[in-house]
Amino acid sequence: MEKKKRVRWFHLISHFDLGGAEQVAMNIAASQNPAIEYHMVEMMRGRSVYTRKMLEEMRQKGIIYHRGWMPDVRFHFLFERVAALLFPLWFIFLFLKWRPQILHSHTEGPDLCLLAFAKLFPGLIKQCRIVRTIHNTRLWTGQQRLGRIAERWFLKMGANVAISQAVQQHYQQCYGECPCIIYNGVPQVMQQPYPQLHPGKVNVLFAGRLEPQKGIATLIRIIEELASDARYHFHVMGDGSLRSEVQQHLSSLPNVTVVPPLHGLSSFLSSFDYMLMPSEFEGLSIVSIEASMASLPNIINDAPGLGETMPPDWPLKVQRNELDAYLRLFREVIPAANRSSLQQQCKQYAVANFGVESMQQRYEARFTVPFESCS
């Protein structure tokens, strides 16, 4: 009796580097389903410390990966366009060698790569099922014309998956389709102590890209206003275009430590007392879910894709990033809160709604049905 071949599922991501979409792709690819062979394909070649650690993690998990040859340049989205145009010339050899049956793109750069490949090699694309995870509520910033072309193709392919109600609603408003929702899954991680805590203080963590989307202006104002409050110490972990502004405002304050991103942050989260996330918008915040999985209560802006990660009655939500509301939480609500009860509440909600095995199974059930009989 001829043994059935496994379905080959290729995840296309921007780079092997720090990023929520990259982590989601790897969490799906870590599935133990014996009927599927997962590959990770890099669009632009990452070169950070995190890149090396991500490569090692994929090797440990038995995930096959393929490295891009274009350098990872983040100066302007023009570089992503060039990388997308050149991507098919490299990917065609990879495609013909492995013959994937499912091509799954994550974020706009890989979306463009997949579209360019489809336009150049339409006959090969017809052999595949296309999957496209929409990771954010705002698409194609500064590239609306190109985005409309891409969205028409993804709609035609029936490829779209939203990661939250906020993403689903925004996509329906913009493009008319109501894509299915598959929540991002986050594994529970063994915890270890973070060595740079400030004993005797309430240690509050911000961890994310230092970009406007993450509410950095609000973050700075909160920390500045609480500079004389000896109860709190803030740990700001991240990098990005606003790093110099963060350093300028916060480096001289006694209540904050600014450090680069920490690889394996999810394994240190339980060391902190609270997480602070003043994001303006998210697709579905992985960091927020990871915090809840580690029983770390989150102080959040009730923004699209972020408020959804916490229980509906979560008491540490702020509307419209109002500074006075944050200050009331820090000065009145948090000192009187039952932190143990908050820990239990957020973890129970995360485990029930954002388990990684549930995410893997939903993707596999939805997109591998036509290939069950592949030999």
Report residue 74's pLDDT band, with 50, 70 and 90 as the boundaries: low
pLDDT in tens, 263-287: 889 999 999 999 999 999 888 888 9
Task: List the structure tokens of 234.
Answer: 């803030």
Backbone torsion region of residue 169, taken as left when φ is above 0, otherwise alpha when ψ lies between -120 and 50, otherwise beta: alpha
Q: What percent of the chain has pLDDT over 90?
A: 79
For the chain, the average pLDDT equals 92
Report residue 97's pLDDT band, with 50, 70 and 90 as the boundaries: very high
Q: Which amino acid is at 366?
A: R
**Cβ atoms of 255 and 234 closer than 8 Å:** yes
Q: Contacts from 214-219 at CB under 8 Å and sequence distance 24+?
A: 214/238, 214/240, 214/277, 214/278, 214/279, 214/280, 215/277, 215/278, 215/279, 215/280, 215/301, 215/321, 216/242, 216/245, 216/246, 218/278, 218/301, 218/321, 218/323, 218/326, 219/246, 219/276, 219/278
Q: Given a cut of 90, is residue 175 above it in pLDDT?
A: yes
pLDDT of residue 268: 98
pLDDT of residue 337: 97
Q: Going by C-beta distance under 8 Å and a sequence separation of 6 or more, which residues neighbour residue 90?
A: 68, 69
pLDDT in tens, 147-174: 999 999 999 999 999 999 989 999 999 9
Supply the DSSP string of 331-355, one letter for each residue: IIIHHHS-HHHHHHHHHHHHHHH--
d(CA 212, CA 280): 8
d(CA 343, CA 333): 15
